[in-house]
Amino acid sequence: MYDVVVVGAGPGGSIAAKTCAENGLNVLLVEKRQEIGVPVRCAEGISRDALERFVEPKKFFISREVVGAKIFAPDGTEITLSEEKAGNEVGYVLERKVFDRYLATLASQAGAEVLVKTTAYDFERKDGIVKVKLRRMGEEWEVETKLVIGADGVESRVAKFFGIDTTLKPDGIESCVQYLMTNIDFDPDYCYFWLGKSIAPGGYIWLFPKRVGANVGIGVMPSIAKKTPKEYLDDFVQKKFPDGRIVELVAGAVPVCGEIKTAVADNVMLVGDAARHADPITGGGIANAMKAGYYAGKVAAEAVKKNDFSAKFLKRYDKLWKEDFGKELAKKRKLQQKLIKMDDETLNKIAHSIPKNIKELSVRAIVLEIFKKHPKLLWDVKDLIL
């Protein structure tokens, strides 16, 4: 019998398993892919602080360090945020194939048992014990535990099985496509973002520099998009990078629905994308997945000590993630709902209103300037940003 079974070895699951093991628990981490971190479904950007809170940065999993961000309004107006001025808005572009695997090895070194190419395909809960049914290369067997940590990503099976409501409505999801591109011209010290309802409705186009080439991708909200994300991205790439070459393609989805009511049920906690922890505005989810994994691991250790795996006890995990970043998710969801209604003309107007000589070029300072010039635009969300 395992104290904890963690389903999914993304950043959330590996940090959860590592934290459980460091706290003396007998933990199994199962991952359905044969290679952890492959295929990559991510643009791989993370802020410096978010990464360094959990892992010491190592050259082998960092593809690029960036010093700022360039944001483009629909008419091409550019706003550059330098690291000096933008503080923690920028940081690293990871090599997630290596990073995710490294996190799993940290979990394993801490004492977690790691099984790859192993799918948790069903669960049976009876008398406070969960039987987790596993499948690997045609072989099926089951293991027992009192606690499951569902870190199984946006399509979480664990959430569904244990009846935790994580339903995503069409406006609660970003549908993404990304190319790894070479033969394109850009400043490798910067991440790029292109905004506009006509190029990426409900989302944006990004370029994140890699050691060789760059991740060029798009996220759109299917509820308002008129084409597929790939069609939008192809239109953009043909115009912007006509000589570019595509050497990799990934497609995936990010939950952007904001804070869910609860991420626990009897005998289970959800972390990361499974618990809809990604940022509703940026779609970034690595940082919150790691934070949630850490909190879930800590609460798992307390639950084992008290031999209490009830939802009532596990609510202390809800408290931890909600206090850390849950409120922020709720605020950003409201702001996102406002932003997706803005037409390109309004976005241009906003970009023009940012003075060139603004003293501090942080996101907050920019928003304040916009608010001063166009209070009506942001009036109903002023409490969220001021």
CB nearer to ligand FAD: give 260 or 381.
260
Would the annotation count 144 as a binding residue? Answer: no
Q: Give the range of 122-130, 149-157, 179-187, 222-230 binding ligand FAD by CB under 6 A.
A: 149-157
Q: Are 134 and 119 in contact (CB under 8 A)?
A: yes
What is the full DSSP assignment across 69-131?
A: EEEE-TT--EEEEEHHHHGGG-EEEE-HHHHHHHHHHHHHHHT-EEESS-EEEEEEEETTEEE
Among 6, 62, 120, 264, binds ligand FAD (CB under 6 A): 120
- CA distances to 255, 256, 285, 351, 385 from 334, in Å: 15, 11, 18, 21, 11
CB nearer to ligand FAD: give 212 or 386.
212
Q: How far apart are CA 270 and CA 156, in angstroms?
A: 9
When asked if residue 13 is in the footprint of ligand FAD (CB under 6 A), the reply is yes
Q: How far apart are CA 133 and CA 118, in angstroms?
A: 10
DSSP class of residue 325 equals I
When asked if residue 175 is in the footprint of ligand FAD (CB under 6 A), the reply is no
Q: How far apart are CA 358 and CA 364, in angstroms?
A: 12
Q: What are phi and psi of 161, to 5 degrees?
A: -60, -40
User: Which residues lie across from 190 on neighbouring strands?
Assistant: 68
Smallest separation (angstroms) from ligand FAD to the CB of 255 = 8
Q: How far apart are CA 195 and CA 379, in angstroms?
A: 21
CB nearer to ligand FAD: give 117 or 319.
117
Encoded one letter per residue, x for contact with ligand FAD by CB under 6 A and - for no contact, window 308-337 reads ------------------------------
Among 4, 5, 6, 7, binds ligand FAD (CB under 6 A): 7
Would the annotation count 42 as a binding residue? Answer: yes
SS3 label, residue 385: helix
CB nearer to ligand FAD: give 45 or 326.
45
User: Which residues lie across from 129 on neighbouring strands?
Assistant: 126
Would the annotation count 163 as a binding residue? Answer: no
Which residue, 189, 183, 243, 253, is CA-closest to 217?
A: 253
Encoded one letter per residue, x for contact with ligand FAD by CB under 6 A and - for no contact, window 61-90 reads ------------------------------
User: Which residues lie across from 245 on neighbouring strands?
Assistant: 182
Would the annotation count 286 as a binding residue? Answer: yes
CB nearer to ligand FAD: give 10 or 68.
10
> Tokens 């798009």 label which residue?
218
Smallest separation (angstroms) from ligand FAD to the CB of 292 = 8
Looking at residues 209 to 268 of the shown chain, list those that interact with ligand FAD (rule: CB under 6 A): 217, 250, 252-254
Length of the chain: 386
Q: Give the range of 72-80, 150-158, 224-232, 307-315 binding ligand FAD by CB under 6 A.
A: 150-158
Q: How far apart are CA 330 and CA 381, in angstroms?
A: 12
Smallest separation (angstroms) from ligand FAD to the CB of 364 = 20
Would the annotation count 363 as a binding residue? Answer: yes
Q: Give the range of 39-47, 70-78, 165-173, 328-336 binding ligand FAD by CB under 6 A.
A: 39-47
Looking at residues 283 to 312 of the shown chain, list those that interact with ligand FAD (rule: CB under 6 A): 283-287, 289
When asked if residue 42 is in the footprint of ligand FAD (CB under 6 A), the reply is yes
Q: What are phi and psi of 155, to 5 degrees?
A: -95, 25
Would the annotation count 247 as a binding residue? Answer: no
Radius of gyration of the CA atoms of the chain, in A: 21
Q: Give the range of 26-34, 220-228, 297-305, 340-348 binding ligand FAD by CB under 6 A.
A: 26-34
Which residue, 160, 136, 162, is CA-closest to 148?
A: 162
When asked if residue 119 is in the footprint of ligand FAD (CB under 6 A), the reply is yes
Q: Give the range of 74-82, 103-111, 269-277, 358-366 binding ligand FAD by CB under 6 A.
A: 269-277
Smallest separation (angstroms) from ligand FAD to the CB of 93 = 8
Total residues in contact with ligand FAD, by rule CB under 6 A: 40
- CA distances to 24, 80, 245, 281 from 41, in Å: 32, 27, 19, 18
* Binding positions for ligand FAD, rule: CB under 6 A: 7-13, 30-33, 41-46, 119-120, 151-153, 157, 176, 178, 217, 250, 252-254, 272-274, 278, 283-287, 289
